[in-house]
Structure 1
Amino acid sequence: MESKELVTIAAQACDEKRATDIVVLDMSDVSLIADYFLICEGSNERQVQAIARELKNQAEENGIDVKRMEGFEQARWILVDLNDVICHIFHKDERHYYNLERLWGDASTVALEGLEG
C-alpha cells in the first residue's frame, strides 16, 4: 500500500472519532523517519484513546501492520507507528506544548482533500 493511501486511511479514522485540527506533514524531503506525519488532537484522555483505538482498528482491517503504539495508558500523546506514516494523537494541552508543526517547520503541509484521488 502506498503511503499516500495509508495516511488517507489514518486521517479518515481520526476524523471518524472527531479528532480536531488534523494536519498531515510531508516528511519525505526532511526526514528518513517516515513519508508522512499525521498530527491531531482530542479534547480529553478518553477521546485521545478512542482516536488511537479507531486508527489501530482501521489499519488492521486494511491489512496494515501497526509497528508500535506508545503512550496509550497516559493518553496525553499517543504515537502510532504505521511504518511510512507516523501518527501523533495529542491531548489538546500537550499539542500546543510540543508544537510538532513548528519543530518540523521545513515539512510541507498536505491538504487532506489532496490526499484523496
Structure 2
Amino acid sequence: MPQAQIDPASTGTTPPASPVADDPQLALILQSLDDDQAQDIVTIDLQGKSSIADTMVIASGRSTRQVAAMAQKLGERLKRGGFGGPRIEGLPAADWVLVDGGSVVVHLFRPEVRSFYNLERMWGFGEGAAGAA
C-alpha cells in the first residue's frame, strides 16, 4: 500500500529526501503496518518542527480489533528489531492507539476517530485546503 510522504515545510518543487532510506526504525514500522494491512498510511517529517519525535506515522485499521493487533505486533517487531520496547497507549479501547518508539511516533486509528481528530491537518497537511469545501 503506498504511503504519503508529508513535509509541511517543503515549498520547492523537489520532493524531500525519503526519511525511510535513512531510518531503519521507520522502515520497520512502515513494513509492519503494510504487512498488517493498515490503511491510508501517512508519514510526516517532524525534524526541526517538534521535539516529540523525528517522524510521525498515522494509519487506520478497519476495526478496534485490527488497530489493537497492529499496535501489539508493531511493539513486538520493534523490540525484536533492537529498538527497545515502545510505549503503547490506548489499549484495550483501540479507537486511537499511540505507539511511541522514541524517534518515531505512530498513531493508529479507526477511520471515524481519525477523521474526527484530523492529525494530518493539525501538523500542516492540507493547509491550502483550509477554506475549501
Sort the TM-score into its range (normalised by shorter chain): 0.7 to 0.9
Q: Secondary structure at the match of 1:39?
A: strand
Read off the aligned partner of 1:86 and give its amino acid letter: V
Match of 1:18 among 20, 33, 37: 37
Structure number with greater CO (CA < 8 Å, separation at least 6) is 1
Unaligned runs of 5+ in 1: 107-117
TM-score normalised by structure 1 residue count: 0.84
The runs of at least 4 consecutive aligned structure 1 residues that moved more than 6 Å come to: none
Pick the structure with more strand per residue: 1
Query: What is the root-mean-square deviation of aligned Cα atoms in Å?
Result: 1.5
Taking the aligned partners of 1:103 and 1:30, their CA distance within structure 2 comes to: 13
Aligned position for 1:8: 27
Is 1:72 paired with 2:85?
no
Equivalences for 1:1-117 in 2 at 5 Å? 4-105=23-124
What is the count of residue pairs matched by the alignment?
105
TM-score normalized by structure 2?
Answer: 0.75
> C-alpha distance in 1, partners of 2:22/2:62?
28
Over the matched positions of the two proteins, sequence identity in percent amounts to 37
Which protein has the larger Cα radius of gyration, Structure 1 or Structure 2?
2
Structure 2 residues not aligned, in runs of 5+: 1-20, 126-133
